[in-house]
Amino acid sequence: PAPVHVIGGGLAGSEATWQIAQAGVPVILHEMRRDEPEEVRTDAHHTAGLAELVCSNSFRSDDWEFNAVGLLHAEMRALDSLIMASGDANQVPAGGALAVDRIGFSDAVTARLEAHPLVTIVREEIAGIPPEDWDNVIVATGPLTSPALADAILKATGEESLSFFDAIAPIIHADSIDFDVAWRQSRYDKEGPGGDKAAYVNCPMDKAQYEAFIDALLDGPKADFKEWENVPYFDGCLPIEVMAERGRETLRHGPMKPVGLTNQHNPTVKPYAIVQLRQDNALGTLFNMVGFQTKLKYGAQTDVFRMIPGLENAQFARLGGLHRNTFLNSPRLLDKQMRLKALPRLRFAGQVTGVEGYVESAAMGLLTGRLAAAQALGRDLAPPPPETAMGALVEHITGGHLEGSKFQPMNINYGLLPPLEAPKVDEDGKRIHPKERGRAKKRLQSIRAMDALKAWRDAAA
Ligand code: FAD
């Protein structure tokens, strides 16, 4: 078969290249970073090594039964992942997490790809839409996609923007919200799609709670940003603590305004301020905090946001943050094969598709590698089902989020997998504690995922 071209030798591109070559299809990997004739890097990469980890050296939890990223590890291992094999071979002690020696890891990935007879590595930037005779291409250029390529993709997709300085708001697991305090209602009972008047979750505050919350926001430690992240804010998307700095009442007249809502647990008392959460995924398992984009440090975020009545025990699927990120509006632009609808010879993989994290990026590289190889061999291959962690990520990228809501990059988490009922009583008929039930549910989701993944793999073989 004709070669597949992979652009970008990061986490996603390296894994994709491996999968294609292992399927018996020749592959040409184009990576712009190099040492010679002159040194080329990105703003975050320090070496010319493939699959360089730009920041932490952790692949996060390796617990496949109770942790969604651990499950993703297991799925990838079951699919002959180069990233996982190289990570496993270069582990450093990190408790239940999989952390790696970053140089050893990157060297291992580079060496295995260089040694593969079907892999050719070319050190060059692809500075525009690839030549027309490249009919099977994977673009895996990451959050720091070179500006020339990013501009070309912009033009090809007709989008206004591709690169964002994300101010992202935290996302909370719906089942960790206390509905004895919070209630569901849309402002002024405004009807949404399908006649829904209760799209939002509302958390009420009295005056003392509001004042204490503002103090905590103003006092909380803020994350520092590198120079290249030093960008003006969009005025419509200010971090919550920046808004609070403009005046103690600003939030009460902005995202926390207490109008058009009635506390269903206490209808006669008007709240002084209200925090709203909006459904974030089609399954209704995740809610984002409306207007709460923040650059508070992670530890401070959990402390400060758990001061909000109803969120005392909130579990966060993602914390807020502000950083540069280049990603596609994938639900609109990509088909289920991860191809650009406007230019289907281009497939996208990694962070640029709107997943977040090393492992998630590599997982999407693995999948697109398999899809591109199948295409080169004239075989039909659908992505794995949404019960798998990998399938759930594809679902998130290509349309699992709610119509009309702003697409945001996401780490893998159980809220992206279809929900499942865990038994309420154990084998002896004794009631299982809700916390234990939560764990049991994760385990059942993980087992279901691995079964579905292996069935998908074996059917494709
Ligand atoms: P990358 O690994 O960045 O790979 C993209 C590759 O494409 C690069 O090698 C680049 O040189 C190359 N490239 C770009 N444009 C072109 C072009 N036009 N032609 C040829 N080659 C090109 N995730 C975590 O899990 N943990 C963290 O601690 C973490 N820290 C991060 C810190 C920063 C500053 C950033 C920006 C992101 C961080 N991420 C982190 C998020 C993300 O998981 C990583 O960026 C991850 O590396 C993404 O994988 P990728 O393959 O999509 O992109």
Tens-of-pLDDT digits for all 461 residues of the chain? 999 999 999 999 999 999 999 999 999 999 999 999 999 998 778 899 999 998 778 899 999 999 999 999 999 999 999 999 999 999 988 878 898 998 999 999 999 999 999 999 999 999 999 999 999 999 999 988 998 998 899 888 887 666 565 667 898 999 999 999 999 998 898 876 667 778 889 999 999 999 999 999 999 887 765 544 545 454 556 789 989 999 999 999 999 999 999 999 999 999 999 999 988 777 888 898 988 988 888 899 999 999 999 999 999 998 887 766 788 889 889 999 999 999 999 999 999 998 989 999 999 999 999 999 999 999 999 999 999 999 999 999 998 656 666 777 789 999 999 998 888 888 888 888 877 888 999 999 999 999 999 999 999 98
Could you tell me the distance, in angstroms and rounded to a whole number, from the CA of residue 54 to the centre of ligand 1?
7
Q: Which pLDDT score, from 0 to 100, does residue 237 have?
A: 63
Contacts of 39-43 with CB under 8 Å at 24 or more apart are: 40/123, 40/125, 42/142, 42/144, 42/146, 43/144, 43/226, 43/228
State the closest ligand 1 atom to the C-alpha of 357, by its place in the atom list counted from 1.
43
CA distance 188 to 274: 14
ipTM: 0.99
- Kindly state if the Cβ of 273 falls inside 6 Å of ligand 1: no
Q: At what angle do helices 68-77 and 82-89 cross, to 10 degrees?
A: 110
Beta-bridge mates of residue 171: 288, 318
Assess contact for 244 and 214: CB atoms under 8 A.
yes
- Kindly state if the Cβ of 56 falls inside 6 Å of ligand 1: yes
State the closest ligand 1 atom to the C-alpha of 149, by its place in the atom list counted from 1.
18
- Kindly state if the Cβ of 149 falls inside 6 Å of ligand 1: yes
Following DSSP, what letter does each residue of 62-122 receive, concatenated? Answer: --TTT-HHHHHHHHHHTTT-HHHHHHHHTEE--TTEEEE-HHHHHHHHHHHHHH-TTEEEE
Closest protein CA for atom 22 of ligand 1: 8
Could you tell me the distance, in angstroms and rounded to a whole number, from the CA of residue 336 to the centre of ligand 1?
23
The three-point CA angle 411-415-416 to 5° equals 65
CA distance 116 to 22: 9
Token look-up 């984002």 returns 288
Beta-bridge mates of residue 91: 100
Q: What DSSP designation does 347 have?
A: E
Q: Which pLDDT score, from 0 to 100, does residue 167 have?
A: 66
Q: How far is CA 319 from CA 5, 173, 267, 404, in A?
A: 35, 12, 32, 22
Closest alpha carbon to 409 in 168, 230, 238, 224: 168
Assess contact for 261 and 187: CB atoms under 8 A.
yes
Pocket test for ligand 1, best of 6, 15, 29, 32 (most atoms within 8 A of CB): 32
Closest alpha carbon to 204 in 262, 289, 285, 287: 262
CA distance 84 to 96: 15
Assess contact for 370 and 18: CB atoms under 8 A.
no
Q: Which pLDDT score, from 0 to 100, does residue 304 have?
A: 96
Q: Are strands 27-30 and 4-7 parallel, antiparallel or unpaired?
A: parallel
